[in-house]
């Protein structure tokens, strides 16, 4: 009788990234999804009033945590309506964000703090395997929890840690504070700077605005059976799939592909692990090359050589922009424009895995 007026379709639309800046809180998201927003595409599915209500509820719990910090004697600022913008520019990519809180501890250390209010199952996923420091309080030391989807937080925290304001204030660590909205349990995770993680984030977003200026979408960042794609409000535009499509399409059950399914799952995990291992090895050797000032190093029958290289390639966004301009001015014909592009036909196999990874 009463609650029907509290939910329903929400008029709230995702705010786009603007002015050549990447939003720090969105660095873990899909660039293609953010491109749809920035280019003004309509969402395939509207946000519901429940989504906005859940966000507002989280803000209430965050305010409660701040109030308790102040009562405990911490000097707090940059929260609520008093949030200031922080910036970071690296390798030609600009980022900006709104940290939740800055505070000064009783011993004089200035800290950055990210506040989160989570429902019970999400909170338990973050704190699984953590150390109980007091009844109802947890210390999270496993960083893997901060990179695990669908709620990765590491990118946002690394951005804040490396921002201009953090440098000015001398902040060397950021503290993630989480509250269980069901049980009032608390958890914290102390995060330090991770240069490798930052490098990968910057690579991920490099060229984003060039593509926007050219009117082109970035490549898909996730596969269509991922939870990110299934939750995305642009999944029909991107993949031609909606959530209900999975239930409507006839599915033929076949035997004999169990090994292939196992290979797919194992391969997905191994691919991610291999990329991390290879990058760790590369950085370790490179660090030693720099430290020893040696162009060639040998260890365990493995020899590495480091040399300065420059890779030159076409900026596809700028080229497409130039070609489009030439076509509009009749400097080239449409046939000449079309010949600049190639098409490749291939068989696409989409996976949707119901088993947990």
- State the residue for tokens 């004089």: 108
Instruction: Note whether 160 and 112 are within 8 A (CB).
Output: yes
Write out pLDDT tens, residues 37-54.
999 898 887 766 666 677
Q: Which pLDDT value is given to residue 51?
A: 65
**Which 3 state secondary structure label does DSSP give 273?**
helix
Taking every pair of Cα atoms in the chain, the longest distance, rounded to a whole number of angstroms, is 76
Q: What are phi and psi of 75, to 5 degrees?
A: -85, 120
Tokens describing residue 271: 């691919």
Whether 26 shows a pLDDT value over 60: the answer reads yes
**Which 3 state secondary structure label does DSSP give 28?**
coil
Instruction: Note whether 154 and 143 are within 8 A (CB).
Output: yes
Give the lowest-confidence range in 198-202, 261-265, 340-344.
Answer: 340-344
The answer to whether the peptide bond before residue 145 is cis (omega within 30 degrees of 0) is: no
Whether 149 shows a pLDDT value over 60: the answer reads yes
DSSP 81: G
269: Cβ contacts below 8 Å, ≥ 6 apart: 357
Tokens describing residue 177: 């504070």
Confidence category of residue 292, pLDDT binned at 50, 70, 90: confident
Tokens describing residue 68: 């308790």
Mean pLDDT for the stretch of residues 130-148: 89
Q: Which pLDDT value is given to residue 154?
A: 95
Whole-angstrom CA distances from 120 to 58, 97, 117, 207 are 13, 27, 10, 39
Instruction: Note whether 213 and 317 are within 8 A (CB).
Output: yes
Write out pLDDT tens, residues 83-103.
889 999 999 999 999 999 999
Q: In the chain, pLDDT over 90 holds for what percent of residues?
A: 35
- State the residue for tokens 């491109």: 35
Whether 145 shows a pLDDT value over 60: the answer reads yes
Residue 71, number of CB atoms within 10 A of its CB: 8
Instruction: Note whether 179 and 65 are within 8 A (CB).
Output: yes
Strands (E), 209-284: none
Q: Average pLDDT, whole number, for the chain?
A: 84
Mean pLDDT for the stretch of residues 270-291: 84
Q: In the chain, pLDDT over 70 holds for what percent of residues?
A: 85
Confidence category of residue 246, pLDDT binned at 50, 70, 90: very low
User: What is the torsion angle, in degrees rounded to the nearest 10, for the CA atoms of residue 225, residue 229, residue 230 and residue 236?
Assistant: -110
Q: Which pLDDT value is given to residue 1?
A: 53
Output the pTM of the full model: 0.66
DSSP, residue by residue, 287-328: HHHHHHT-SEEEETTEEEE----------HHHHHHHHHHHHH
Whether 66 shows a pLDDT value over 70: the answer reads yes
Q: Which pLDDT value is given to residue 153?
A: 94
Confidence category of residue 285, pLDDT binned at 50, 70, 90: confident
CATH number of the structural domain 7-205: 3.90.320
Q: What are phi and psi of 282, to 5 degrees?
A: -60, -45
Domain residue ranges in the chain = 7-205, 260-306, 316-345
Tokens describing residue 296: 């060639």
Nearest to 9 by CA among 45, 42, 44, 37: 45
Q: What whole-number distance in Å separates Cα of residue 86 and Cα of residue 309?
A: 34
Q: What whole-number distance in Å separates Cα of residue 49 and Cα of residue 287?
A: 51
Which residues does residue 87 pair with via DSSP β-bridges, in sequence order? 96
Confidence category of residue 251, pLDDT binned at 50, 70, 90: low
Q: Which pLDDT value is given to residue 235?
A: 87
Write out pLDDT tens, residues 11-21.
555 678 888 99
């Amino acid at each position: 009788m009463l609650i029907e007026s509290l939910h329903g379709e929400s008029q709230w639309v995702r705010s786009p990234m603007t002015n050549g800046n990447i939003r720090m809180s969105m660095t873990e998201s899909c660039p293609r999804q953010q491109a749809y927003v920035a280019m003004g595409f309509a969402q395939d599915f509207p946000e519901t009033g429940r989504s906005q209500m859940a966000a507002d509820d989280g803000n209430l719990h965050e305010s409660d945590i701040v109030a308790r910090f102040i009562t405990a004697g911490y000097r707090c600022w940059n929260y609520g309506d008093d949030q200031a913008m922080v910036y970071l520019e690296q390798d030609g990519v600009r980022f900006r964000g709104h940290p939740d809180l800055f505070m000064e501890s009783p011993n004089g250390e200035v800290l950055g703090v990210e506040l989160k209010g989570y429902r019970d199952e999400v909170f338990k996923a973050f704190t699984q395997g953590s150390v109980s420091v007091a009844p109802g309080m947890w210390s999270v030391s496993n960083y893997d929890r901060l990179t695990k989807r669908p709620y990765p937080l590491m990118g946002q925290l690394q951005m804040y840690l490396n921002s201009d304001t953090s440098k000015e204030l001398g902040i060397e660590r950021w503290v993630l504070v989480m509250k269980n909205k069901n049980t009032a349990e608390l958890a914290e995770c102390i995060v330090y700077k991770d240069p490798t993680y930052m490098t990968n984030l910057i690579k991920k977003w490099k060229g984003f605005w060039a593509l926007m200026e050219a009117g082109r979408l970035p490549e898909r960042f996730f596969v269509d059976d991922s939870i990110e794609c299934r939750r995305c409000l642009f999944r029909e535009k991107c993949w031609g799939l909606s959530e209900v499509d999975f239930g409507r399409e006839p599915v033929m059950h076949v035997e004999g592909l169990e090994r292939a399914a196992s290979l797919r799952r194992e391969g997905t995990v191994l691919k991610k692990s291999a990329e991390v291992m290879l990058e760790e090895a590369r950085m370790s050797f490179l660090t030693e090359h720099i430290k020893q000032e040696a162009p060639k190093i040998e260890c365990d029958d493995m020899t590495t050589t480091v040399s300065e290289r420059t890779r030159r390639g076409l900026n596809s966004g700028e080229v497409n922009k130039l070609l489009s301009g030439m076509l509009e001015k009749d400097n080239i014909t449409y046939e000449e424009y079309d010949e600049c592009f190639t098409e490749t036909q291939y068989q696409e196999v989409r996976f949707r895995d119901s088993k947990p990874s």
